C-alpha cells in the first residue's frame, strides 16, 4: 500500500447520498486500501464527513466523539415519520407567531443537558438490526429509549412565517431531527428538519472540507494536493507528542512499550508517538508520569 494511501480526507458530503455511499465511492478509487468514516450524516444532510483511508481507519476509535456544530432549517406546521423532509407527514398543526422573545425562551429551554427520544428512523439497533431498516419494512416499532444529551449552544432565528434557522453545538449522540420535533412541540406546533449542514466534527471544520467529486477526481488523477489529504500525524492536533529515534522505534514496533519510558509528555493521557521524520508510529496511553502502554501501532 502506498504511504499516501494512509490518509484522512475531509469530504463535504453532498445531499442525497448516504455516508456509506461516500465511503464506497472513495474505496473504488483507492482499493485495496480500507476506507471508513467518522459520524454518519443522514442522506439529505450535507457537510463535514471525515473519511479515513488505509492505516487511518485505526484512528477511528480515538477520533470519535467530541462536540459537533450544525446549521439547519426547521419547517413548522408538519411532522414527518422520519422527522426530516424525506418522510411521510404524520401530524399537522397551526404555526404560532415567531417573535424574538418566544424564540429566546425556546433557546433557553433547550440549552444545556436535555432528554430527547431518538427518531425511529435511526441507526440505533434492536436485536442487532438498525431501526430504520425495520421501519422501512413497515414493522411497528417502539420508540428508542430517551437519552440525555447536551446542547452547548442554540441559536434560533425566524426565516419565514413557518420556518426557523437553527445553529447548534451539541454533544455526541444528539439527534438534530429530534431537536427540531421537540422545538415544534414546545412552540405548540409540529415540525420537521428541512435542511441540515454539519460545520464541525472530530476537530475538522467545513473550511477543511472538499466536495466529494473534487476529492475523487484528485485521487484518480494523482493530484494529491488537490485532494487535501491529511497525514496520519496531523490527526488530533491537540494531542501531545513524543518523538522516538530509530532504535527506540524498532523496539516499540516489536511490542516493547518500555521504549516509551521517560518519553511521556508532561501531563499526557493519550498521546501520539512520532518518528524523528514526523510519521505516526503509535498512539499510547500514559500509565504513570514516566511510563506508557501502546494503544495502537501504525504500519509505516
Q: Among all residues, which ones are annotated catalytic?
A: 42
Q: Measured between alpha carbons, how far is 280 from 277 in angstroms, rounded to an integer?
A: 9
Q: Measured between alpha carbons, how far is 149 from 147 in angstroms, rounded to an integer?
A: 6
Contact in structure between 180 and 168 (CB atoms under 8 Å): no
Residues 6+ apart with CB under 8 A from 160: none
To which H or E segment does residue 115 belong?
Answer: strand 112-116
Three-class DSSP category at 241: strand
Contact in structure between 267 and 236 (CB atoms under 8 Å): no
Question: Is the Cα torsion angle 198, 40, 92, 181 positive or negative in sign?
Answer: negative
Paired with 297 in beta bridges are 282
Nearest to 178 by CA among 126, 110, 107: 110
Q: Measured between alpha carbons, how far is 118 from 178 in angstroms, rounded to an integer?
A: 6
Alpha-helical (H) ranges within the chain are 19-30, 60-63, 100-110, 131-136, 176-186, 212-221, 224-227, 246-253
DSSP-derived letter for residue 144 is P
Contact in structure between 240 and 271 (CB atoms under 8 Å): yes
Amino acid at each position: 500500500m502506498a504511504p499516501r494511501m494512509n490518509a484522512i480526507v475531509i469530504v463535504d458530503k453532498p445531499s442525497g447520498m448516504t455516508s456509506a455511499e461516500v465511503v464506497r465511492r472513495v474505496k473504488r478509487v483507492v482499493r485495496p486500501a480500507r476506507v471508513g468514516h467518522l459520524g454518519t450524516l443522514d442522506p439529505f444532510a450535507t457537510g463535514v464527513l471525515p473519511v479515513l483511508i488505509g492505516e487511518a481507519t485505526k484512528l477511528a476509535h480515538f477520533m470519535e466523539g467530541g462536540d459537533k456544530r450544525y446549521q439547519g432549517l426547521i419547517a413548522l406546521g408538519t411532522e414527518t415519520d422520519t422527522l426530516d423532509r424525506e418522510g411521510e407527514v404524520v401530524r399537522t398543526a397551526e404555526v404560532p407567531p415567531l417573535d424574538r422573545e418566544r424564540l429566546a425562551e425556546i433557546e433557553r429551554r433547550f440549552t444545556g443537558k436535555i432528554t430527547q427520544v431518538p427518531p425511529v428512523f435511526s441507526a440505533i439497533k434492536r436485536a442487532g438490526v438498525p431501526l430504520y431498516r425495520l421501519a422501512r419494512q413497515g414493522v411497528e416499532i417502539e420508540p428508542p429509549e430517551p437519552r440525555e444529551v447536551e446542547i452547548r449552544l442554540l441559536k434560533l432565528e425566524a426565516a419565514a412565517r413557518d420556518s426557523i434557522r437553527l445553529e447548534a453545538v451539541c454533544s455526541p449522540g444528539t439527534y438534530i431531527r429530534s431537536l427540531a420535533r421537540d422545538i415544534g412541540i414546545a412552540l405548540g406546533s409540529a415540525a420537521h428538519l428541512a435542511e441540515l449542514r454539519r460545520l464541525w466534527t472530530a476537530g475538522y471544520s467545513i473550511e477543511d472540507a472538499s466536495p466529494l467529486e473534487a476529492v475523487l477526481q484528485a485521487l484518480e488523477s494523482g493530484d494529491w494536493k488537490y485532494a487535501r489529504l491529511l497525514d496520519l500525524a496531523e490527526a488530533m492536533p491537540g494531542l501531545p507528542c513524543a518523538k522516538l529515534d530509530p532504535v527506540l522505534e524498532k523496539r516499540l514496533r516489536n511490542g516493547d512499550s518500555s521504549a516509551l519510558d521517560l518519553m511521556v509528555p508532561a501531563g499526557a493521557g493519550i498521546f501520539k508517538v512520532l518518528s524523528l521524520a514526523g510519521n505516526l508510529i503509535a498512539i499510547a496511553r500514559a500509565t504513570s508520569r514516566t511510563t506508557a502502554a501502546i494503544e495502537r501501532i501504525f504500519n509505516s
